[in-house]
Amino acid sequence: MPEFAFIGRSNVGKSSLINMLCDNSKLAMTSSTPGKTRLINHFAINKEWYLVDLPGYGFAKMSKAGKDQLTAVIKDYIFNSEEMVLLFVLIDSRHDIGKIDLDFLIDLGENGIPFSIIYTKSDKQGPNVTNAQIERNCALLKEYWEELPPYFVSSAQKGTGKESILNHINTILESLKS
Ligand code: GDP
């Protein structure tokens, strides 16, 4: 089955988003779960596709060896998976895209990995502030990309973005069938 993977810096709201998309509050393990960081979890959705929960990256407190091991696990999946159709990269809607995220995105671009950005936690501020922040982020990315992939705005607390993300996945699934 085709795979749609989700990744982001630790604490970006990935587990909450996955649980929202799957209507299951306990599916993805939250940040506080011991040992969650090195796991890649596959969740079968509607017997049609797999939602792949990749480990968070950018842990400030992790040792170099730990970071290297994590990076190897992540890169092995992203660059070698034959099933991954799209990678959703989660970015906090309140912040500028930092160096860690930018380097990661550039790496994806250079390796031709299809991705879409999901801006998380949009309930934390008003829509105008979110839109202004996203515009700043798009301006930064436009320095590296001529054309940007579609992005999504989400809030796990309010359910925002669920429909548009799932619609996007379904559109891709349909296009794979034809
Ligand atoms: P992960 O480490 O990326 O899996 O992040 P989690 O899903 O565990 O979330 C990290 C923290 O952010 C938790 O305290 C969540 O309650 C909070 N959080 C996650 N998503 C949202 C959201 O959409 N809105 C708000 N206000 N808080 C969120």
Residue pair 56/9 in contact (Cβ under 8 Å)? The answer is yes
All domains of the chain in start order, with CATH? 3-177 (3.40.50.300)
Task: Summarize pLDDT for 105-122 with one digit per residue, the tens.
Answer: 999 999 999 999 999 999
Express each pLDDT in 72-95 by its tens digit.
989 999 999 999 999 999 999 999
Where is pLDDT greater, at 71 or 92?
92
CB-based contact 160:119 (threshold 8 Å): no
Substitution site in 11, 16, 37, 153 for ligand 1 pocket (most atoms within 8 Å of beta carbon): 16
- Confidence (pLDDT) at 128: 97
Asked whether 48 and 69 are in contact (CB, 8 A), the reply is: no
Please report the pLDDT score of residue 57 as a whole number. Answer: 80
* Residue 164 scores a pLDDT above 80: yes
Please give the sequence-ordered ranges of beta strands (E in DSSP) within the chain, or none if there are none.
3-8, 41-45, 49-53, 84-92, 115-120, 151-153
Angle at 111 between CA 139 and CA 103, to 5 degrees: 45
Q: Would you say residue 36 has pLDDT above 90?
A: no
pTM of the complete model: 0.93
Ligand 1, atom 27: closest residue by C-alpha: 121
Q: Is the pLDDT of residue 152 over 60?
A: yes
Kindly state if the Cβ of 162 falls inside 6 Å of ligand 1.
Answer: no
Confidence of residue 27 (pLDDT cuts 50, 70, 90): low
> Is ligand 1 within 6 A of the CB of residue 157?
yes
> Does residue 160 line the site of ligand 1, with CB under 6 A?
no
